[in-house]
Structure 1
């Protein structure tokens, strides 16, 4: 059998047709891949020598999901449902061999196969909700039929992944391969199915797992959606789809799923979440960084300070598998920190010289500039080979670096952390901070599963300047007689987490009433104007980086994109008018982009 196309291959071994997908890097469901799969299944189904069909993927993963960039742009020659019908309708057993990640459309493909074998460590899930979507290829209909309604709702609303063992426990896979060679194990499994005379098992025909769903299951799902994804439309649409699945008519459920998927795809929330998805990845791309620069290996990281920040960073580093040395000159404080962290891998030391072997040392002690300068000067001598970082929200990275003999080795690391959002590491680069230090900070962010966002150091960093403006506006409204509770309500209705503004509660009796829309304008329009100033000052590389600081650092609802994305939705000319109406000068970058018809988010 010849190759189908450049990304799909078809071979025949012992009566088993091996359809192998090879679309690097993650075998995304591109139109070309779908076309090749369809043609391969047509050939395999029509070949009388083929008794079973095995679907495999080359490389490090099974189909990891849809090609997001192709959504609404490119189309295969047959739609996804036709491909699935061809797979599920094959009169021969079809086995999916899963490894790496089997996500989104990849899992929906696997669910149309009759049997699933997974390599140990395989991750499975339907994460479409994270993009403001739902599984639009039958996932909301087949998943409940194979794992039950309650489990399906949990997986669909959370978007979480399960490993191979968890998938086996809930019935999502039929067997875990007992050999490192998945292709060999999967072929043996297919031949065993034939030898046993096992019939094809169409998931769409299964009914025994959906008949016991009651109103309480769906009410619990609505509570989960409100708790995890307040204000988002996709979870509610998912619940409606699973309710349709529970009624038992597969085709009717598919019709509901198609309609709900299209509404989400065409809606503003999914557009914003897809923007945020790509903006998060764009943040790691630093303009002007030397192409051959390599980050430090970060074999060992030192922390100076056993306060709340130091302890939190120690735990995060240890969880990421980084050897960590924690210093404090106060022996009692060091002992308390060691007892609180309680990790055998943690190195406790009262001597700065013990940090000499570290690749990176982070100061997490004091807020006063003079204290930070003194600590960095000591570290400069005690750990002469290490990169030095100050864990700070302060803008004076250059002043702190000047206290050392090698300011190029100094960088600011601001770990934005709140109850509701703690996924940003703001990397504050000084005027002479080296490319190696920046690359190492970005690598550290990845290790800690944070979004690394580069910020200039003055005047002020991204987070410092924007949050200051927001809080100033809240305080100004309170001073004018607006109730703090009204400001809090407007912010939380927009989607911000409770308590973000830390609005004063001692403001006295409210004497002024503003509509929620006006409160939001007074909060967000000056923030947007400051974001444009930050871009103009070169503090941020791009508008989307500012958005990532707010989405992942301060809890701006991702389904609203971020401040600069919000500005583009409002329209920059409208933003300028509102800036002027509040008595501010529009940022030059805002005026420039409005005149050129450019977008602030970039």
Structure 2
């Protein structure tokens, strides 16, 4: 045993306690202590049964991922689990908090499991590009049946204690983990030798015997091919549980796990896992603490305003949604109601919960209706004069509130100057649809106070979002880089590519949708209006709009759409328009390979990311990765644009940008100074110096 694992006796029951705060992760010392404790009680005649429990707020919540990528330390988790399952004394897992990953795999190997209400159990490895590697795919189907096991492993979603009891994952729901587990263990000890999970085959018998049942399971649960390696591996491991002897299934699962663990995709997922946690860290003066707003207001009831108000109510924070237009306010309120009603219809929310959230939502048509709010999020139209007028008026209505703007592009320093208290102004850039998208860019303005910055980050996390602190510039981080990609789409179309070529290359790379289909979905006229307001022009996109091709809403954009369908179909009219435009502008067209298209779209984005880093708009390259994966659909298994570039090697990136610049004659394609310096040093963006985005 170790300092992290203790064992005491409650008469004839040995109680093994894991105490490795904060989440009792299965580091090597914990594994060694647990294995020693199990071994120690085997030959003790005074011990009739064993309970495994955890101190603190949770059962084991998973592996210690800091050990990944390092030489394995004995004992390995499969060896510990084998020792638990082969115990001659019945072993009861006492679950509370969360039992996730390796923690649930330990519980699965125990002979019985009890849980307190509110416990959540799951195998989330798929979210790190992995599969369970210590028997989870082999034991779970034996307890809950293949259908539930496929769902849990392939989604990574946990289930609650009540569902676990109904499905057979736990034997009882108890009020107190330790005392009830000890009593339960004492009872089962009187019934003879323990029954191992591996020997329970009744729930997998049908799927094991019938290939058509297995095929139906795969068809029902396996996601479509999208470049991820973990889902097919999970399916293979789960099918092995149904078709192979137990030990062969374990070996198959372990081989698949090790291959994934040592592969590029899981490394990318682990990079993002660490990056998301690092992104919320702030360099703040000592003693600065975030406020905890008890009431919020949202100004604007359009798509974003209604979505942000929904986020507050979902988080249990009373919110007032204000719009000067009664019609807009009614539409926004109905949108929120329909969102929750849809969740009720799908069984994702109870009617009582919907009623509770509706009770948290108030509405008004005057700015004065935000009085009493401790945080106000402005989500009005993207016009500077409108936003400045709103902020100037808020000075007298909510003199102590945190004032946030949801602008996507505008200068927040300029907005802040409309108030007499710019230190209380911050950007909260939500992404659409706000209730779904996890990312929030927290934009630190020039005079934002440390307390307000801390409050904004804390509030975003309370709303269930992933906050990333960025500085002020046009488009901040995400949209600034997106604008570069949009420009490159235009250049490629003029130079010889077609919309289906561009979208095919990026979906092949791993994006769920290509940029042309995304433009059609959102409406090409939105960017068109913005360009006209700025005196800018995009030749292909503007000509499409001028021809009435505004996207899906008109049935024609970059692609054509059949009535009632969202499937983009190549359109010869678009090809003719593009070719004619190239000829009119004197641009010689050529063919581009998919790899060339990926480089021409993404390497200039990486180049812009390097400029963003050198300007201190982002604190670290990994922050840019978090933004692009969570807000713009960059494939997570590639780690984000800056991580992807590091994997390519910055010398290669520098040379390809140099070649692209030579072909296009475009000065912005020349490698950014930071990229050149890092490439010369043989370093990556992860090694870039940090100018830092700190509070004032």
Q: CA deviation at 1:469?
A: 0.4
Aligned to 2:597: 519
Q: Distance in 2 between matches of 1:77 and 1:216?
A: 39
User: Does 2:126 align with 1:48?
Assistant: no
Tell me the secondary structure at the aligned position of residue 508 of structure 1: helix
Contact 2:321/2:363, CA 8 A, preserved across alignment = yes
2:289 is aligned, of 279, 287, 294, to 294
User: Does 2:155 align with 1:77?
Assistant: no
Question: Map of 1:369-408 to 2, 5 A cutoff?
Answer: 369-408=384-423
Q: CA deviation at 1:507?
A: 4.2
Aligned to 1:596: 681
Q: CA deviation at 1:220?
A: 4.5
2:231 is aligned, of 220, 226, 235, to 235
Contact 1:421/1:555, CA 8 A, preserved across alignment = no
Q: Distance in 1 between matches of 2:434 and 2:367?
A: 32
Question: Map of 1:395-474 to 2, 5 A cutoff?
Answer: 395-417=410-432, 422-474=437-489
Q: Distance in 2 between matches of 1:22 and 1:294?
A: 29
Tell me the secondary structure at the aligned position of residue 686 of structure 2: coil
Aligned to 1:587: 672
User: Does 2:162 align with 1:147?
Assistant: no
Aligned to 1:186: 181
Q: Distance in 2 between matches of 1:296 and 1:537?
A: 29
Contact 1:112/1:203, CA 8 A, preserved across alignment = yes
Comparing 132-141 with 589-598, greater Cα deviation is found at 589-598
Question: Map of 1:233-272 to 2, 5 A cutoff?
Answer: 233-272=229-268
Aligned to 2:503: 488
Query: What is the TM-score normalised by the length of structure 1?
Result: 0.95
Tell me the secondary structure at the aligned position of residue 654 of structure 2: helix
Q: Distance in 2 between matches of 1:284 and 1:66?
A: 22
Q: CA deviation at 1:232?
A: 0.8
2:162 is aligned, of 160, 165, 168, to 165
Which digits, 9 at most, give the CA deviation of each residue in 1:101-142, with x for residues without a partner? 000000110111100001111000000111111100011111
Contact 1:417/1:423, CA 8 A, preserved across alignment = no
Aligned to 1:567: 645
Q: Distance in 2 between matches of 1:527 and 1:216?
A: 47
Q: Distance in 2 between matches of 1:58 and 1:67?
A: 17
5+ residue gaps, structure 1: none
Aligned to 2:372: 357
Comparing 209-218 with 526-535, greater Cα deviation is found at 209-218
Contact 1:293/1:436, CA 8 A, preserved across alignment = yes
Which digits, 9 at most, give the CA deviation of each residue in 1:355-413, with x for residues without a partner? 23111111111111111111111112211111111111114001111111111111111
User: Does 2:608 align with 1:530?
Assistant: yes
CA distance change for structure 1 residues 330 and 198 in 2, over 3 Å: closer, same or farther?
A: farther
Tell me the secondary structure at the aligned position of residue 582 of structure 1: helix
Which digits, 9 at most, give the CA deviation of each residue in 1:42-96, with x for residues without a partner? 1111211100011111100011100000124264432222212211111111111
5+ residue gaps, structure 2: 338-357, 520-540, 542-557, 559-572, 580-588, 662-668, 688-696
Aligned to 1:203: 197
2:88 is aligned, of 88, 91, 95, to 91
Q: CA deviation at 1:500?
A: 3.7
CA distance change for structure 1 residues 404 and 289 in 2, over 3 Å: closer, same or farther?
A: same
Q: Distance in 2 between matches of 1:74 and 1:58?
A: 28
User: Does 2:553 align with 1:553?
Assistant: no
Q: Distance in 2 between matches of 1:81 and 1:306?
A: 53
Tell me the secondary structure at the aligned position of residue 47 of structure 2: coil
CA distance change for structure 1 residues 514 and 339 in 2, over 3 Å: closer, same or farther?
A: closer
Aligned to 1:121: 118
Tell me the secondary structure at the aligned position of residue 133 of structure 2: coil
CA distance change for structure 1 residues 420 and 441 in 2, over 3 Å: closer, same or farther?
A: closer
Contact 2:275/2:623, CA 8 A, preserved across alignment = yes
Aligned residues: 594
Tell me the secondary structure at the aligned position of residue 223 of structure 2: helix
Q: Distance in 2 between matches of 1:84 and 1:142?
A: 11
Tell me the secondary structure at the aligned position of residue 45 of structure 2: coil
Q: CA deviation at 1:459?
A: 4.9
Contact 1:32/1:76, CA 8 A, preserved across alignment = no
Contact 1:302/1:358, CA 8 A, preserved across alignment = yes
Contact 1:418/1:554, CA 8 A, preserved across alignment = no
Q: CA deviation at 1:418?
A: 5.5
Tell me the secondary structure at the aligned position of residue 226 of structure 1: coil
Q: CA deviation at 1:588?
A: 1.1
Q: Distance in 2 between matches of 1:80 and 1:338?
A: 51
Q: Distance in 2 between matches of 1:364 and 1:37?
A: 53
Q: CA deviation at 1:219?
A: 4.9
2:105 is aligned, of 104, 108, 112, to 108
Q: CA deviation at 1:335?
A: 3.7
Q: Distance in 2 between matches of 1:83 and 1:336?
A: 57
Comparing 503-512 with 309-318, greater Cα deviation is found at 503-512
Q: CA deviation at 1:192?
A: 1.8
Aligned to 1:542: 620
Which digits, 9 at most, give the CA deviation of each residue in 1:196-233, with x for residues without a partner? x1541200111111121133544553564334x72211
Q: CA deviation at 1:484?
A: 0.6
Q: Distance in 2 between matches of 1:474 and 1:42?
A: 63
Tell me the secondary structure at the aligned position of residue 569 of structure 1: helix
Contact 2:300/2:379, CA 8 A, preserved across alignment = yes
Q: Distance in 1 between matches of 2:620 and 2:335?
A: 40
Q: CA deviation at 1:344?
A: 2.2
